Amino acid sequence: MKNNKYIQKSIKHVWHPCSQMKHYENIPLIPIQKGRGSWLFDYENKKYLDVTSSWWVNLFGHNNKIIKKYIAKQLNTLEHSMLAGLTHSPVIELSEKLGKLTKLGHCSYGSDGANAVEIALKMSVQFWLQTGSLKKNKFVYLENSYHGETLGALSVTDISLFKSQYYSLMKSHIQTPSPDWRLKKKNQSNEDFIQSKLNALAKIFEKKHTLIASIILEPIVQGAAGMGIYDSAYLVGVRKLCDQYKIHLIADEIAMGFGRTGKMFAHQHARITPDFICLSKGLTGGYLPLSVTLTSDEIYQAFYHTEITKAFLHSHSYTGNPLACSAALGTLSIFESEDVLGNNKIKIRIINNMFERFEELPISNFRNIGMIWAFELSNVISVDKVVSYCLDKGVLIRPMGRTVYFIPPYCIKESEANFMTKITYNAIVQAVL
């Protein structure tokens, strides 16, 4: 069998991420040969509906003609040049476009989401250092947050699975309660729930604001927490508290940026402007690794100096790579030429109707925002059986614990969404213990 050859070679030579390699003795890898639209194909030509958008990055489907055209054109011009002392058209054009979209005009480029977070954390601390607040080097982060797995990003992540082995390498920071509505008490109103979380944060700020550089959060949706959704009123309150206590607000839009929640950026639900915005994943439509951290002119000016020691010295060899920037320009061109968010609204209504019959299943907390759907399986359901059934029938899902979620590419067709919901429904029915 063609698949088996690739499976065995991969297990022997590749250390796969977020995996216990021994598990692949019983749960085989799926070797992917090609992709097209919402589908991935293995080497035996079996196809899988990619309802996770390949770890949330693939906005407009696999093998997208427009993004490929942008990359191919750049490939024949300039594949790479360092960004220290040099510049090039793709990074300039991309920075201009992102500045207009976010109202933050200064872009610092990295390779991935964790790198974008590292940049924001370091910039924030250095800003306060260079403006006279020497003690402001602590960060506040939300309960159940996830911001990446490099050491700085991991230190403001609250998922022990990822960080328990590395506590000795990290500084400790300050956690504040999550506004995830799944944590709301039964008899508690939405307003009281949000206010209680803001009150808890206010107490932290009041007591420790002289030590706090920033608060970092995932606006509206805490992705790795199992798609924990919260009210935009919380963001409004956080912005006010940050202004009151002179603390930076870092919006980690790595997973939820570029239309995933129904707005171009998730923080726009609250009509606020953060001090930093971190972008990656969908930035290049899933084609090449790239991240960007955007910040304000006020923060930028604190680094504008004759001394090199006052500069921001975080970098890597591929900073602002022209090919990756061109892929991002291709992604943005689709938003510019098509009513992506408007078309998604139509799809959302259709797909929500498809999920209506899930009410009779043993699930809880069904939720939707933008192009995200999620729910929890009850304890009478075998998660492994659900996954196995879906994969066997050609639907690629990757639950987080007991949370089943769907983040399909924006190009998903009605027939494909119907296939997704039908197979998942049947998978849950047959997985009752």
pLDDT in tens, 242-284: 999 999 999 999 999 999 999 999 999 999 999 999 999 999 9
Residue 44 CB: number of other CB atoms within 10 A? 11
pLDDT for residue 433 is more than 90: no
Residue 383 CB: number of other CB atoms within 10 A? 15
Q: How would residue 35 be classed by pLDDT, with cut points 50, 70 and 90?
A: very high
Using an 8 Å Cβ cutoff, are 35 and 41 in contact?
A: yes
Instruction: Tell me if the pTM is above 0.95.
Output: yes
Q: How would residue 291 be classed by pLDDT, with cut points 50, 70 and 90?
A: very high
Helix (H) or strand (E) holding 408: none
Tokens of 91: 């990074």
3-state secondary structure of 276: strand
Using an 8 Å Cβ cutoff, are 118 and 153 in contact?
A: yes
Stretch 41-51: mean pLDDT, rounded?
Answer: 97
What gap in Å lies between CA 142 and CA 174, rounded to an integer? 9
Residue 134: which residues within 8 A CB-CB, separation 6 or more?
128
Query: Mutual orientation of helices 340-354 and 414-430 as an angle, nearest 10°?
Result: 30
Stretch 326-343: mean pLDDT, rounded?
Answer: 98
Q: Which amino acid is at 8?
A: Q
